Structure formats: structure tokens, C-alpha cells
């Protein structure tokens, strides 16, 4: 059973990260083309579908399958699993913040620039490096 849960976890992780990496790009387009109403309406639809159809389901599938793996593997792991889970929770907070920015744009209240979202997009990459290192090397 462990291998099947791991398989599902990896697929969920990949799907979630597709949303994590693409959403800030949509927010860049949104911020930089705010005057182009037709374009913005299309981007709003893309943002909402990305978050609700792919992003949130993949996030929860990743989290639940990860907890299942931790249960099957054992929660010990000499501390690396605790670092990984902490970083995953930070990644979830980051992802939820993307949805907050999306909703702010939808309401017409977001004042962040395209440059901000380009920089903001670097956060999940750094978290991913450490999360994957925890899984592969199992330090601590």
C-alpha cells in the first residue's frame, strides 16, 4: 500500500506545483494588463479555474497522502519529517496567499505590481528545494 500512496503523493505534488508556479505568472499578467478589460476578464477565469479545479484539490491530495505516508512510514524520521511538514505548511500558507491576491484582483483592490509577483514566485522554489532535500537525504 505504501508504494501506491507514494505514487499518488508524487502525482499530487506535481499537480500542485503546476498551480503554484503558474498562478503567480497569471497574477503578473493581470497586474501588468489591468487596463485591458477584455484580457483581464480572461485571466480572471484562468486564475479561478487554476485555483479551484487544479490547485486546491492537488494541495489537499498532497497533504493528505503525505500524512498517510508519514503514518505508514512512522512519524519518527529523526526530525527531517518535522522540517518537511513545517515547510509544507508554509507552502500551503503561500498558496492560500495566492488565492487572496486573486480575490483582491477580482474585487479590484490589489495594488501589487508584476515585479512583486515575479519576486513572490521565487518563494515556492526555495521551499521545494529544502522539502525535496529532506525527503532524499533525510538529514537531522
Cell of 54: 487544479
Model confidence at 87: pLDDT above 80? yes
Distance CA 47, CA 24 (A): 9
Per-residue pLDDT averaged across 72-96, rounded?
87
Its pTM stands at: 0.92
CA angle 121, 59, 53 (to 5 degrees): 90
Give the gyration radius of the chain's Cα atoms.
17
Model confidence at 55: pLDDT above 70? yes
Model confidence at 75: pLDDT above 80? no
Query: How much is the pLDDT for 135?
Result: 87
Segments forming the whole domain that contains residue 95: 2-137
Cell of 10: 508524487
Provide the number of structural domains found in the chain: 1
Please state, for a pLDDT cut of 90, what percent of the chain lies above it: 82
In order, the DSSP letters of the chain are -HHHHHHHHHHHHHHHHHHHHHHHHHHHHHHHTTT-HHHHHHHHHHHHHIIIIIIHHHHHHHHHHHHHHHHHH-S-GGGHHHHHHHHHHHHHHHHHHHHHHHHHHHHT-----HHHHHHHTHHHHHHHHHHHHHHHH---
Amino acid at each position: 500500500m505504501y508504494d501506491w500512496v507514494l505514487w499518488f503523493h508524487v502525482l499530487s505534488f506535481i499537480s500542485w506545483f503546476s498551480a503554484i508556479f503558474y498562478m503567480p505568472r497569471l497574477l503578473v499578467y493581470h497586474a501588468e494588463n489591468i487596463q485591458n478589460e477584455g484580457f483581464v476578464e480572461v485571466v480572471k477565469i484562468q486564475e479561478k479555474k487554476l485555483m479551484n479545479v487544479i490547485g486546491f484539490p492537488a494541495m489537499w491530495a498532497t497533504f493528505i497522502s503525505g500524512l498517510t505516508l508519514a503514518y505508514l512510514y512512522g512519524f519518527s524520521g529523526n526530525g527531517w519529517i518535522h522540517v518537511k511538514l513545517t515547510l509544507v505548511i508554509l507552502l500551503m500558507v503561500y498558496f492560500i496567499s495566492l488565492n487572496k491576491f486573486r480575490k483582491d484582483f477580482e474585487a479590484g483592490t490589489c495594488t501589487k505590481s508584476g515585479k512583486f509577483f515575479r519576486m513572490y514566485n521565487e518563494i515556492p522554489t526555495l521551499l521545494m528545494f529544502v522539502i525535496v532535500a529532506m525527503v532524499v537525504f533525510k538529514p537531522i
